[in-house]
Amino acid sequence: MRNTRHRRQQILQRLIQHGSVQVSELAEDFEVSSVTIRADLNHIESQGLATRTHGGATLVRTPPQEQGIHEKDALNLPLKELIGARAAQLVKPGENIIIDSGSTTMMLARHLRLRRDVTVMTNGLNIAWELANADGIDVLLAGGMLRKQSLSLQGSQAEASLASYSFDTLFLGVDGLDLQFGLTTHDEAEARLNHRMVERARRIVVLTDASKFGCVSLHRIARLDQIHTVITDDGIGAEYREGLERLGVEVIVAEPLR
């Protein structure tokens, strides 16, 4: 399954770079049968990203370009504030949690500052800094290479740092949430680390404003049936709310605190 996922991501990357691909060339390059490549292209087409042609496929929907952390911080700020505050309500004393890097998860960290007896692991430098002087919170920082675009740590060292831990909850930020393709992000190393986070936590909570619904970035983190809860804003459409609930995913719409 991992080889299939990795191959499909590489095929999608070629589609983005070249606009079209040919079955015969892909079969030769990946050393698989034409039947396998056709199945890959049919899968990518089912996500609305490509159109099958005779002997290949052409790109239809280009994944959105990544924005820097400071640009992300300024987007939909009031909504992210609501989502972060609502996510903080799920954290109980004595819990061990992971907070993924990101602008929405940063708001969660801000609302946790006065909590007591909580252990947080994060790969986000900004999140660690936000919690650095929070007396009741112990902070574990993942190792690895700093990705300046997102102020996140990643790579094999970051992945290995998770291996000896078990967490109650992962609070995960994403660049895209699609009913067919699942949760996605722009960076391959970040996707691998997020996937490891999913494996180490008993509950997966996705924090995303509604603008991310229907977006597909290049690298998949997880399927939607692997997550438990999505916290979002009231911009979520009926299609996505009903689709997530059919998959057994709890949908929480963040509202202003009273």
Average predicted confidence (pLDDT) for the chain: 89
Cβ–Cβ under 8 Å, residues 90 and 163: no
Shared domain check, 205 and 127: yes
Tokens at 40, concatenated: 């890959």
Shared domain check, 46 and 160: no
Determine the 3-state secondary structure of 82 from DSSP: helix
Query: Counting every residue, how long is the chain?
Result: 258
> Among the three residues 59, 78, 103, which one is the final residue of a domain in this structure?
59
In a domain, residue 22? The reply is yes
Determine the 3-state secondary structure of 250 from DSSP: strand
At 31-53, the pLDDT tens digits run 999 999 999 998 888 767 788 98
Shared domain check, 11 and 30: yes
At 186-215, the pLDDT tens digits run 888 999 999 999 999 999 999 999 989 988
Shared domain check, 138 and 167: yes
Q: How many domains does the chain have?
A: 2
Q: What is the pLDDT of residue 62?
A: 57
Q: Indicate which CATH number applies to the domain containing 193.
A: 3.40.50.1360
Q: Distance between CA 196 and CA 211 in Å, rounded?
A: 25
Please state the rounded mean pLDDT for residues 231-242: 94
Q: Distance between CA 219 and CA 237 in Å, rounded?
A: 24
Shared domain check, 164 and 132: yes
In a domain, residue 258? The reply is no
**Is the model more confident about 3 or about 82?**
82
In a domain, residue 64? The reply is no
- Longest CA–CA span in the chain (Å) reads 63
In a domain, residue 34? The reply is yes
Q: Which DSSP category does 186 fall into?
A: S
Q: Say how many Å lie between the first and final Cα of the chain, rounded.
A: 46
CA 103: distance to chain centroid? 12
CB-hemisphere CA count at 13 Å for 44? 37
Shared domain check, 154 and 109: yes
Q: What is the pLDDT of residue 69?
A: 53
In a domain, residue 78? The reply is yes
> Among the three residues 12, 36, 59, which one is the final residue of a domain in this structure?
59
Shared domain check, 142 and 113: yes
The residues with which 229 forms a beta bridge, in sequence order, are: 205, 250
At 52-80, the pLDDT tens digits run 988 999 887 655 555 555 455 445 578 89
In a domain, residue 157? The reply is yes
Which residues constitute the domain of residue 215? 69-253
Q: Distance between CA 111 and CA 133 in Å, rounded?
A: 13
Amino acid identity for residue 161 in this structure: S
At 139-179, the pLDDT tens digits run 999 989 998 878 899 999 999 999 999 999 999 999 999 88
Q: Which DSSP category does 227 fall into?
A: -
Q: Distance between CA 2 and CA 226 in Å, rounded?
A: 15
